[in-house]
Amino acid sequence: MIVGVPIETYPAERRVALVPLVAADLAKAGLEVVVQPGAGEKAGFPDAAYQKVKARLVSDRTQLFSLADVILQVNFLDAHPGAGDDLELLRQGQIVLGLLNPFGAPQTAQKLAQRGVTAFALELLPRIGRAQPMDALTSMATIAGYKAVLVAAVELNKMYPLMMTAAGTIRPSRVFVIGAGVAGLQAIATAHRLGALVQAYDVRPAVKEQVESLGAKFVELELNTEGSEGSGGYAEAMDEEFYRRQREMMARVVAKSDVVITTAAVAGRKAPMLITEEAVQGMHPGSVIVDLAAEGGGNCELTRPGERVEYNGVTILGPTDLPSTVAHHASQMYAKNVSAFLHNLVKEGQLDLNLEDEIIRDTLLTHQGEVINPQVRELLAQPTSAPVNDERKNS
């Protein structure tokens, strides 16, 4: 089986789906790796590094797609606005693996199905222990949380740590992290290491211990949070009355913060709006908001995805590509994730479509000309179940 690694076409994307060290691991497992020249350059992996581990460079993108049985990418097709469209290069029976934005761009799944492609979306990975090595969302969220703190430090007109100087005492900056998932916890840890006074809030009371273990104070609001945590530990969407009261209470903490980092997201849903324009007005000039939920609509009312907004002296950033700005390590982590997935999917050089395996079944987005995932089918106004054969049983 041949695995192909093309250049990413999403604007400003610097990551690559497979790094040389992991390519060598796949080769040991009996898979051949072909790479489009220049695919890893922006992440610090030159063509020579791939050739050193016996990966084959091909002449161009068209040849790569024609040779590869499996296409590995970070951002695939038009699943993400601005990415190049490789649809015409795909063929029936080809396997696609990557971040396919299934809930944000269900039309991409439909196009892949029409081409007869078997597509696996890493966003659909189940939250089980065996799937952790494949969890690209967690890997990228770790990087986003770390980098958000650094981005805020550059924008802030203060320093993070307490400093005793000959010119007097510099008091530490106050950082407030909303959402204590993977990105939020990494933001807490990073801000604490840099010397800031860190507070954090999450709708799930169960994460209080994790927040405090990282050196932050857990903000408790007088709200009924029953039902706030769903399967796999993800936050569940609450009703609008809950969010209204939450916004009112949270505004007091926001007003006293120098930096606010928001990470609150609900899988498959628009991000909850937690910081109103009025709350931003209550912040002092020079404060910074970094909204990591920007791609899902944003947690701040004033956020514009991918843009910088200045409002009443407050800077609001809505980054959508922070992992790409740490491309070398982000690529290493992502490559490990897709390699682990491939090892589970491919046995003795052949696709092993075992639908009794929860990982394979849940991540399967398209197969045999059909969109498979029930939630995506619902978004496309299709019946929630699609026929699919377990190829192991038919062989």
Collapsed DSSP state (helix, strand, coil) of residue 97: strand
Contact present, 62 and 90 (Cβ < 8 Å): no
pLDDT of residue 225: 58
Domain assignment present for residue 359? The answer is yes
Q: How far is CA 114 from CA 78, 92, 275, 336, 366, in A?
A: 15, 9, 41, 30, 9
Residues 7 and 70 in one domain: yes
The span from the CA of 130 to the CA of 127, in Å, is: 9
Residue 394 has pLDDT above 60, yes or no: no
**Which residues does residue 169 pair with via DSSP β-bridges, in sequence order?**
164
Model pTM score: 0.90
Range(s) of the domain holding residue 31: 2-135+326-394
For residue 231, is pLDDT > 80? no
Hey, what are 304's tokens? 């514009």
Q: How many CA atoms lie within 13 A of 259 on its CB side?
A: 29
Written as six digits, the tokens of 158 are: 């203060």
- Specify if 119 maps to a domain: yes
Is 50 exceeded by the pLDDT of residue 395?
A: no
On whether the CB atoms of residues 122 and 363 are closer than 8 A, the answer is: yes
Residue 338, SS3? helix
As a whole number, mean pLDDT of residues 255-270 equals 89
Last residue of a domain, one of 293, 320, 347: 320
Phi-psi sector, 368: left (phi>0), alpha (psi -120 to 50), beta: left
Q: What is the mean pLDDT of residues 255-264?
A: 96
Whole-angstrom distance between the N-terminal and C-terminal Cα of the chain?
18
Asked if residue 281 and residue 227 are part of one domain, the reply reads yes
Instruction: Return d(Cα 331, Cα 348) in angstroms, integer.
Output: 26
Assess whether 205 and 73 both reside in one domain.
Answer: no
What pLDDT shows up at residue 204? 84
Residues 263 and 187: beta-carbon distance below 8 Å: yes
Rounded Cα gap, residues 40 and 72, in angstroms? 13
Task: Decide which of 320, 339, 366 is a domain's last residue.
Answer: 320
**Contact present, 290 and 262 (Cβ < 8 Å):** yes
Asked if the model's pLDDT at residue 41 lies above 80, the reply is yes
Assess contact for 285 and 316: CB atoms under 8 A.
no
CA distances from 196 to 107, 108, 171, 199, 207 (A): 43, 42, 9, 10, 20
Of the residues 304, 320, 336, the one at which a domain ends: 320
Is 113 among the domain residues?
yes
The secondary structure of residue 271, as a DSSP letter, is: P
How many other CB atoms are there within 10 angstroms of residue 206's CB atom? 12
Helices 136-155 and 182-193, axial angle in degrees (round to 10): 40
- Please check the confidence at residue 318 and state whether its pLDDT lies above 50: yes
In a domain, residue 249? The reply is yes
Q: How many domains does the chain have?
A: 2
pLDDT given for residue 80 in this prediction: 67
128 lies in the same domain as 149: no
What is the per-residue pLDDT across 65-109, written as a single tens digit (0 to 9) for each? 999 999 999 988 766 666 667 888 999 999 999 999 999 889 999
Q: Are residues 212 and 298 in the same domain?
A: yes
Separation CA 66–CA 63 (nearest Å)? 5
**If you average pLDDT over residues 212-219, what whole number do you get?**
96
For residues 99 and 191, membership in a common domain is answered with no
Check residue 249 and give its pLDDT.
Answer: 83
Amino acid at 261: I
Tell me the two tokens of residue 375. Answer: 């939630």
Clarify whether residues 155 and 304 are in a common domain: yes
CA 393 to chain centre: 34
In a domain, 140, yes or no: no
Question: pLDDT at residue 228 above 50?
Answer: no
Amino acid at 379: L
What percent of the chain is predicted at pLDDT more than 90? 77
Whether residue 114 is found in the same domain as residue 149: no
Is 223 in the same domain as 347? no
Question: Residue 106 is part of a domain; what is its CATH number?
Answer: 3.40.50.720
Shared-domain flag, residues 292 and 165: yes
pLDDT band per the 50, 70, 90 thresholds, residue 239 = low
Phi first, then psi: what are they for 338, rounded to 5°? -70, -30
Indicate if 362 and 227 belong to the same structural domain: no
- Residue 246 is predicted with a pLDDT of 79
Question: Mean pLDDT across the stretch 328-352?
Answer: 95
Residue written as token pair 């700005």? 325
* pLDDT interval class at 236 (50, 70, 90): low
Residue range 229-242: mean pLDDT, rounded: 58
Length of the chain equals 395
110-163 tens-digit pLDDT: 999 999 999 999 999 999 999 999 999 999 999 999 999 999 999 999 999 999
Is the pLDDT reported for residue 237 higher than 60? no
- CA 186 – CA 179 distance, rounded (Å): 11
Residue 180 has pLDDT above 60, yes or no: yes
Rounded CA gap, 240 and 177, in Å? 21
CB contact set of 28 (below 8 Å; sequence gap of 6+): none
Please tell me whether residues 288 and 350 are part of one structural domain: no
